[in-house]
Amino acid sequence: MADVLTFTDRGIYCPAGDFYIDPWRPVDRALITHGHSDHARPGMGRYLATAAAAPVMRHRLGDIAIETIRYGDATRIGDATVSFHPAGHVPGSAQIRVAVKGQVWVVSGDYKTVADGLSEPFEPVSCHAFITECTFGLPIFKWTPEAVLIAQINDWWAANAAAGRTSILGAYALGKAQRLLTTVNPDIGPILTHGAIENTNAVMRNQGITLPDTTRVTADITNKTHPGALVLATPSALGTTWARRFGASSTAFASGWMALRGVRRRRAADRGFIVSDHADWDGLNTAIKATGATKIFATHGYTSAFERWLRDQGYDAHTVSTDYQGEGFDHADEAEA
């Protein structure tokens, strides 16, 4: 039996429907899992995405030809039946299910299995073959429980404010920043945002997502105008002239990479919070088991190590080379801004 999906130099391709999923080169028809720039790229003839993912895609890609689909609704494309299912990564993110002649394959996109109160919670999708990310596909990656994380961030901010320091927190502009906004305590002080983050906040507010009040950082805003503030900054803004305007400050970075020794120092951060919008080791294994799939394709991340692990567990596992970046570190804004 022919494979439902194949792997090409343009992206993941479905011959039966003549479409691509998250292609990295221009194609006529692209099905998009979510709006991060390594998955939703310019130049496609037609796009299909969830209704919740479309606004940020339009914000980033401009006047594109895009159709939207609701979670769980099945649509026929050629000889393939397609549906989108919550991935829990960022608002509107989806796993894409493709069925052809009784065979079901699922492309995970990026996903996390723990509900964050912002994104539509992850839902396992039964399938024969599962194409999964493994950005954090090593046992060392285990995320801080949500309640503990919230307390850590709020305690850090409150202590800084009491000491007269500004708290500067690095986070990706789409997803991570808004997730953090829903967890911090606005009673501690004002919340300031980098322009790229505030632009994304505006898109999400316009589609009905509730976020606390924030103020865009402009030239006249400093630690004197907003003492004790929490500043949400893009990773590339940390340590720059833009950040130094706030004087005495404490800098932190929120990322899954904070689980690795030395990464916080490379980011020149005083504090690291271990949090990601991708699945950790337990999440990856839980999600894969829940699909019931026997054939697994590992895309971006620790692919070789994860493939070996899956084979040891009895899966028919393979590694696939793609242009997806997962949660970047040295090029963080490029993948997740």
Averaged pLDDT, groups of 10, the chain, 337 residues long? 91 98 98 96 98 97 97 98 98 98 98 95 98 97 96 98 97 94 96 97 96 96 96 93 94 94 74 96 98 97 96 97 75 39
219: containing domain: 146-273
Residue 16 domain-assigned (yes or no): yes
Rounded Cα distance, 268 and 244, in Å: 13
Q: Cα(200)–Cα(314) distance, rounded to whole angstroms?
A: 42
Determine the pLDDT at residue 120.
97
Q: C-alpha distances in angstroms, 231 versus 154, 203, 213, 332?
A: 13, 19, 13, 18
Domain end point (choices 254, 273, 292) = 273
What pLDDT is stored for residue 132 in this prediction?
98
Q: Is the domain of 283 the same as that of 209?
A: no
Nearest to 232 by CA among 201, 207, 264: 201
pTM for the whole structure? 0.94
Are the beta carbons of 173 and 234 closer than 8 angstroms? yes
Contact at 8 Å (CB) between 96 and 31? yes
Q: Quick one: which of 221, 214, 226, 225 has its CA closest to 161?
A: 226
pLDDT of residue 170: 95
157 plus 257 within the same structural domain:
yes
If one counts the domains in the chain, the total is 2
Is 165 among the domain residues?
yes
